[in-house]
Amino acid sequence: MGETEINWPELLRAADNASAVEQLRGLVLAALRVALRDRSDVSEAHLEDFTQESIVRILAQLDRFSGRSRFTTWAHAVAINTAFTELRRKRWQDVSLDALTEGGRQLAEHPFAPAESTESSEERTVLLDVLHRAIAEKLSERQRTAIVGELQGLPFDQVVALLGTNRNAAYKLLHDARKALKQHLAAAGISAETIRSTFAP
Amino acid sequence: MNPLNSQQVRELIRVVDQTREVEITCSECRDAVGEYLERRLAGLPIDAALERVEHHFTLCPECREEFEALKKVLNATG
Ligand SMILES: [Zn+2]
C-alpha cells in the first residue's frame, strides 16, 4: 500500500494504535540511521534512544502536522531535531552563563581585534565604529550575551537554556537585537551595499 | 571571549544584513520544512510562505543542518 493511502494521524490517535506506532518506530529508526550515518559519536543504543524519544514527541505533537507534506517527512523532521538537539546539548554542556555574560561585556567594550581596525580601509573603520557604538548603546546585556553565544557557535537551544528563557522569547531577543543593529547602521547612512562590499571575504 | 575575529565580524555583519522585519522561528521552520523540501525535490515552485523557510536557513545553522539531514533521508528512502 502506498504511503498516501495511510492516514497516519488517524491511526496514531486511535485507541488501538500499537501496530501503527510500531510501524512508525521502524521508519523513524531507519531514517535516523541514514541521517546520522556520518557521525562516529552515535551508537546503535543512541539511535534506539533517539527513536524512542522521537516517537513520544511525534505523538504529542500530532496537531502540528499540517498535512502539506507526507506525514513521514514531517515525522522525520521531528526525529532529526530530537536527535541533533540532544547531540548538541552533550557537546556544549560545559559552557557557562558567566562566561557568556563576560563575553557580552567585552563585546560592548572591545568588540574587534586590533587588526580589524588597523588593517582596514577608511570605510571599514567607520562601519566598525558605528557597529561598536550600536552594540554598546542599543543592545541590552542579555542581547549581547545571546549574540556572543551565537557567534561562538553555541546551539540556539543552549543559549535558550543559559538565558533561562524559552525558545520563542530567545528568538525575539536575538531578532530584536539584529533589527536594532540594522536600523542603527541605516540611520548612520551605511547602506546594505556598503556593508556587503566592505566585508566581502 | 577574545575580541571578534574577522570571520566573526563578517558573520555578525552578514546576519544583521540578512535581518528582516518578519521572520519565522525554528519551530515554524520545522513545521514547514517537509513541504519545502518535497516541493524542491519535485521541482515545484516555492511560494512566499515557503521562501521564509529558505531565509531562515541563512540565519539559523541548526535548522540548516537538520534540513541537510532530512534531505539525505528523503534521497535515501525516496
Ligand atoms: Zn532555526
For residue A115, name the pLDDT band (cuts at 50, 70, 90). Answer: low
Instruction: Note the pLDDT of residue A43.
Output: 94
Model confidence over A146-165: pLDDT tens digits?
998 888 888 898 899 889 99
- Cβ of A77 within 8 Å of Cβ of B66? The answer is yes
Q: Does residue A109 sit in the same domain as residue A162?
A: yes
Q: Could you tell me how many CB contacts below 8 A there are between chain A and chain B?
A: 127
Q: How far apart are CA B52 and CA B41, in angstroms?
A: 17
**Is A39 within the bounds of a domain?**
yes
Q: How far apart are CA B65 and CA A77, in angstroms?
A: 11
**Is A1 within the bounds of a domain?**
no
In chain A, which residues have their Cβ closer than 8 Å to the Cβ of B21? 179
Helices and strands: H and E segment counts in chain A: 11, 0
Q: How far apart are CA A123 and CA A104, in angstroms?
A: 25
Q: Does residue A31 sit in the same domain as residue A83?
A: yes
Q: Ligand 1 centroid vs A65 CA: distance in angstroms?
A: 18
Alpha carbons within 13 angstroms on the beta-carbon side of residue A83 total: 33
Q: Which run of H or E residues covers position B40?
A: helix B26-41
Please check the confidence at residue B2 and state whether its pLDDT lies above 70.
no
Compute the average pLDDT of residues A182-188.
92
Instruction: Note the pLDDT of residue A1.
Output: 45
What lies within 8 Å, CB to CB, of A68 at 6+ separation is B32, B34, B35
Provide the number of structural domains found in chain A. Answer: 2
Q: What is the CATH number of the domain that holds A190?
A: 1.10.10.10
For residue A95, name the pLDDT band (cuts at 50, 70, 90). Answer: confident
A55-64, A94-103, B43-52: least confidently modelled range? A94-103
Q: Does residue A137 sit in the same domain as residue A117?
A: yes
A25-29, A119-123, B56-60, B73-77: least confidently modelled range? A119-123
| Three cell numbers, residue B25 | 522561528
Instruction: Note the pLDDT of residue A4.
Output: 57
Q: Does residue A139 sit in the same domain as residue A113?
A: yes
ipTM value of the model? 0.92
Q: How far apart are CA A177 and CA A174, in angstroms?
A: 5
Per mean pLDDT, which of A44-48, A93-97, A105-109, A193-197 is the most reliable? A44-48
Q: Does residue A136 sit in the same domain as residue A72?
A: no
In chain A, which residues have their Cβ closer than 8 Å to the Cβ of B26? 156, 167, 171
Substitution target from A32, A109, A112, A172 for chain B, most B beta carbons within 10 A: A112
What lies within 8 Å, CB to CB, of B34 at 6+ separation is A68, A69, A70, A73, A74, A76, A77, B70
The residue range of the domain holding A116 is 97-199
| Residues of chain B that touch chain A, judged by Cβ-Cβ distance less than 8 Å | 1-6, 8-17, 19, 21, 23, 25-27, 30-35, 37-38, 60-62, 65-66, 69-70, 72-74, 76-77
Q: Ligand 1 centroid vs B33 CA: distance in angstroms?
A: 11
DSSP state for residue B4 in the 8-state scheme = B
Per the CB < 8 A criterion, the answer to whether A113 and B4 are in contact is yes
For residue A3, name the pLDDT band (cuts at 50, 70, 90). Answer: low
Alpha carbons within 13 angstroms on the beta-carbon side of residue A69 total: 25
**How far is CA B6 from its chain centroid?**
23
Model confidence over A28-76: pLDDT tens digits?
999 999 999 999 889 999 999 999 999 999 999 999 999 999 999 999 9
Q: How far apart are CA A80 and CA A50, in angstroms?
A: 9
Q: How far is CA A128 from CA A89, A121, A140, A149, B6, in A?
A: 33, 11, 19, 20, 11
Q: What is the CATH number of the domain that holds A14?
A: 1.10.1740
Q: Does residue A114 sit in the same domain as residue A194?
A: yes
In chain B, which residues have their Cβ closer than 8 Å to the Cβ of A31? 73, 77
| Three cell numbers, residue A39 | 557521525
**How far is CA B18 from its chain centroid?**
12
Q: How far is CA A16 from CA A22, A72, A123, A135, B26, in A?
A: 12, 20, 68, 56, 33
- Cβ of B1 within 8 Å of Cβ of A84? The answer is no
Give this prediction's pTM. Answer: 0.86
Q: How far apart are CA A54 and CA A48, in angstroms?
A: 10
Q: Does residue A104 sit in the same domain as residue A189?
A: yes
Q: Ligand 1 centroid vs B67 CA: distance in angstroms?
A: 10
Q: Which domain-ending residue is among A92, A120, A137?
A: A92
Per the CB < 8 A criterion, the answer to whether B26 and A137 are in contact is no
- Cβ of B4 within 8 Å of Cβ of A155? The answer is no
